[in-house]
Amino acid sequence: MLDNLPRGTIVIEDIEIGMFRYLRKQVTDADIEMFATVSTDHNPVHMDDDYAQDTIFQGRIAHGMLTAGLISAVIGEQLPGHGTVYLGQSLKFLAPVRPGDMVYAEVKVTDIDPAKRIVKMDCHCSVEGKKVLIGEAKVLAPSRKFD
């Protein structure tokens, strides 16, 4: 048995189809600025109010990958949690996220391969009940057993 699994980690042996976890986070100007710094993506649609006003979005928007990062946070912190290894992620962006928006990010288990410790999850983010991102994640879940 692994003694170093953090509290709250859900191991492959305990994961069930239909399990889900979520978080809510308000996207702030500071989040957008920090993401631009870390990613080096300073596209003015994210950074410049005047520029963004004249785009199809009619105002600044958060980076799509900032929103997608909330999915990563749910997977890495809650389901399965610490020790999880990302294997893949598909994403489709449906609508913009704006500074000040409260984003709801959710993952839900849809398939499990216990022998390979692989878990597939449907993922989505929404703002005020409207989906802004959908996708599927494939992860390697931690186990109680040593490899």
Residue range 89-120, pLDDT digits in tens: 999 999 999 999 999 999 999 999 999 999 99
Virtual CA dihedral for 42, 48, 53, 59, nearest 10 degrees?
Answer: 70
pTM, 2 dp: 0.93
Q: Which CATH architecture has domain 12-140?
A: Roll (3.10)
Instruction: Quote the percentage of the chain above a pLDDT of 70.
Output: 95
Q: pLDDT tens for residues 5-41?
A: 667 799 999 999 999 999 999 999 999 999 999 999 9
* pLDDT, tens digit, 9 for 90 and up, residues 37-58: 999 999 999 999 999 999 999 9
Domain ranges of the chain: 12-140
CB-neighbour burial class of residue 133 (10 A; exposed 0-12, middle 13-18, buried 19+): buried
